[in-house]
Amino acid sequence: MSRRRVGHRGVPAAALVPAVLAIAFLVLPLLGLALRSPWARLGEILTTTTVRQSLALSLWTSLVATAVSVLVGVPLAWLLARGRFPGRRVLQAAVTLPLVLPPVVGGVALLGVLGRRGLVGRYLYDWFGTTITFTPTAVVLAQVFVAMPFLVVSVEGALRGADERFDEAAASLGASRWTTMRRVTLPLIAPSLAAGAVLTWARALGEFGATITFAGNFPGRTQTLPLTVYAALESDPDAAITLSLVLLVVCLAVLVVLRGHWLGQVAR
Amino acid sequence: MITSHRPALGAALTAVLALTLAACGQSTAPGSPGTSPGTAPDDALSGELVVLAAASLQDAFDELGAAFHEAHPGVTVTFSYGGSSGLAEQIVAGAPADVFAAASTSTMETAVHGLQDAGVAGADALSPTLFASNSMVLAVPLANEAGVQGLADLERDDVTFAVCEEAVPCGAAAVRVLQAAGVTAAPVTLEKDVTAVLIKVRDDEVDAGIVYVTDLDESVTGIEVPADVNTTTSYPILALPEAPHPETAAAFTDFVLSAEGLAVLASHGFAAP
């Protein structure tokens, strides 16, 4: 704690003014949302079937999307950070493209590949009679598409920053590559991995554009909380505001809990 | 190396808040503006006229906007098309618009009541005018591999279909049609406006969709909905009380209701109100 206080005193006044402006810009809209929310109706709004369904759907799809992102994103980050092969830079740019792509375009792209007439989707439909669109699977895929780059970018950065001499020391003591990765490197980058996973999860939870385009919108099946908010904006604006707050509170709760964990770990 | 994570964490938290907010964002598709604004010394009307119109009016209103611009070269007409109820919400929230054309009288009432509740000057004396009517049709992909012949086929397990969500007029109309026809099967998706339904059908992602008669074009096949189960929706238009250009707004609504305007609407398949 004492280190932090010293650091705080070191912030020059010239930086404080824009920082306060930034805080106001980021926090005031949230405050406005809280002030406009019809708190008296909170219980009634939260217990409607549509809201309970979309909250549950949002929670499990975003968690699955995060798990999928970690499972395939960490190896990808590894490849990009430590791999030596031609075209690595192009690949790096390509896999982070979803970060800048408008999510609706992402949804259109997913339809182009996995839709019923898509590159891959048409075979799924013709051979197995299944379609991915309009299913919870499509919701998860849309979330993975837009959110995984957050994980890849943060893990790749950590792997670049990590001291490879630890790996070499482990190898010289006879550890296999797999053991080194599991016992040495991954623990070293754990804080970044956790930060990346939380960012990925939060992005997946808030996903809207790719979901409505690729997975459609049906209560209980593909209507996640952001889609419910959007639908409610048309029929019941008060409910929309309350639901936005629920989304914020869920995110905030998780972030605060995890932040406590990190600081406990980091402030050694 | 360890302390360097802290700023990264702060940045991460900020980004998360921003992203969560982005989830609540709403966008309107900008319509096609007329050609560049010119000046006509003999015409008092000038400026940029903003018209919010139901998605189903897009083709007809694009043509009306071009004709209006021709008659009043000083005026540039900008359209924003979307689901009527979303547009009504924007109007009540104070969107700087001049004219509102909705796809149902109930949505127009929502907007008018909202303006009255907000205490907008002149909102008590508003009287929207009906200018067109429309009915529903079953749209199927050109390939129609599912072999959909009519509403009864929507009950088949292997047939998927899309409709608008019930909050927008085309969705409310679709619900009435399905009820009248005794269809109990659920759609696979509730789209936010009629254009979105049409796109899902055109791209063959669903086997059928319920859209307005006027939405039919060469990209899909239309299957008539029998008159005894069909439903008619009326389109009201209103010059908004807070219009930045009240005179131009009145001139535009008059133009839509003129013989010339109604002829353009008829050419796009709209029936008389």
CA distance B84 to B107: 7
Q: Which of A26-35, A206-215, B50-59 has the lowest mean pLDDT?
A: A26-35
Compute the average pLDDT of residues B146-153.
94
**Residue A9 has what pLDDT?**
62
On the question of pLDDT at B30 being above 80, the answer is no
On the question of pLDDT at A1 being above 50, the answer is no
**Residue A262 has what pLDDT?**
59
* Residue B247 backbone dihedrals phi, psi, to 5 degrees: -65, -45
3-class secondary-structure state, position B97: coil
On the question of pLDDT at A97 being above 80, the answer is yes
Which pLDDT band, with edges at 50, 70 and 90, does A109 fall under?
very high
* Residue B91 backbone dihedrals phi, psi, to 5 degrees: -65, -45
Max Cα separation, chain B? 75
Q: Which of A1-15, A146-160, B69-83 has the lowest mean pLDDT?
A: A1-15
**Residue A151 has what pLDDT?**
95
> Cα B212 to chain center, whole Å?
11
**Residue A119 has what pLDDT?**
92
Q: What's the mean per-residue pLDDT of chain B?
A: 84
On the question of pLDDT at B8 being above 90, the answer is no
Compute the average pLDDT of residues B116-133.
88
**Residue B22 has what pLDDT?**
40
CATH class of B39-132+235-267: alpha beta
**Residue A8 has what pLDDT?**
53
3-class secondary-structure state, position B218: coil
3-class secondary-structure state, position B77: strand
On the question of pLDDT at B2 being above 50, the answer is no
Which residue of chain A is at minimal alpha-carbon distance from B86? Answer: A234
Name the percent of chain B lying above pLDDT 70: 84
**Residue B213 has what pLDDT?**
92
**Residue A263 has what pLDDT?**
53
CATH class of A48-266: mainly alpha
Contacts of B14 in chain A (CB under 8 A): 26
**Residue B15 has what pLDDT?**
44
Which pLDDT band, with edges at 50, 70 and 90, does B43 fall under?
low
Contacts of A141 (CB under 8 A, 6+ apart): A110, A114, A132, A214
CA distance A166 to A43: 54
On the question of pLDDT at B202 being above 80, the answer is yes
Q: Choose the closest CB to A217 out of B13, B85, B165.
A: B165
CA distance B202 to B195: 10
Most B CBs within 10 A among A3, A30, A135, A234, hence the mutation to make, goes to A234
**Residue B94 has what pLDDT?**
83
Compute the average pLDDT of residues A48-72.
94
Q: Choose the closest CB to A206 out of B8, B22, B160.
A: B22
Alpha helix ranges (H) inside B157-205 = 169-180, 194-202
Which pLDDT band, with edges at 50, 70 and 90, does A183 fall under?
confident
On the question of pLDDT at A49 being above 90, the answer is no
Q: Do B168 and A203 touch (CB under 8 A)?
A: no
Residue A208 sits at the chain B interface (C-beta within 8 Å): yes
Q: Do the domains B39-132+235-267 and B134-232 sit in the same CATH topology, yes or no?
A: yes
Which pLDDT band, with edges at 50, 70 and 90, does A261 fall under?
low
Asked whether the beta carbons of B53 and B259 are under 8 A apart, the reply is no
Which pLDDT band, with edges at 50, 70 and 90, does A260 fall under?
low
Which pLDDT band, with edges at 50, 70 and 90, does A125 fall under?
confident
Compute the average pLDDT of residues B64-86.
91
> What digits encode the pLDDT tens for the residues A140-165?
999 999 999 999 999 999 999 888 88
Compute the average pLDDT of residues B138-157.
94
Q: Choose the closest CB to A248 out of B3, B20, B191.
A: B20
Binding-face residues of A in 95-134 toward B, CB within 8 A: 111, 115-117, 131, 133-134
**Residue A45 has what pLDDT?**
84
* Residue B261 backbone dihedrals phi, psi, to 5 degrees: -65, -45
DSSP code string of A18-48: HHHHHHHHHHHHHHHHHHHS-GGGHHHHHTS
**Residue A149 has what pLDDT?**
95
**Residue B27 has what pLDDT?**
36
Q: Choose the closest CB to A251 out of B20, B89, B190.
A: B20
Compute the average pLDDT of residues A54-74.
95
Q: What's the mean per-residue pLDDT of chain A?
A: 87
> What digits encode the pLDDT tens for the residues B218-240?
999 999 999 999 999 899 999 99
On the question of pLDDT at B25 being above 50, the answer is no
- CATH number (1.10.8.590, 3.40.50.300, 2.40.50.180, 3.40.190.10) of B134-232 reads 3.40.190.10
Handedness of CA B115, B117, B123, B126 (dihedral sign): positive
Q: Choose the closest CB to B26 out of A223, A233, A247.
A: A233
On the question of pLDDT at B143 being above 70, the answer is yes
On the question of pLDDT at B35 being above 70, the answer is no
Asked whether the beta carbons of B130 and B233 are under 8 A apart, the reply is no
**Residue B5 has what pLDDT?**
42
Nearest C-alpha of chain B: how many angstroms from A200? 9
Give the residue, A138 or B20, on which the prediction is more confident.
A138
CA distance B147 to A20: 63
Give the residue, A60 or A29, on which the prediction is more confident.
A60
> What digits encode the pLDDT tens for the residues A196-249?
999 899 999 999 999 999 999 998 899 999 999 988 877 777 888 888 888 888
In chain B, where do the E strands start and end?
Answer: 29-30, 47-54, 75-82, 99-101, 129-141, 161-164, 189-191, 208-212, 220-224, 232-239
Domain boundaries, chain B: 39-132+235-267, 134-232
**Residue B20 has what pLDDT?**
41
Domain boundaries, chain A: 48-266
Name the percent of chain B lying above pLDDT 90: 60
**Residue A126 has what pLDDT?**
85
On the question of pLDDT at A258 being above 80, the answer is no
Q: Do B20 and A216 touch (CB under 8 A)?
A: no
Compute the average pLDDT of residues B8-13.
44
Compute the average pLDDT of residues A31-59.
87
On the question of pLDDT at B86 being above 80, the answer is yes
Size of interface A-B (CB pairs under 8 A): 124
Give the residue, A168 or B141, on which the prediction is more confident.
B141
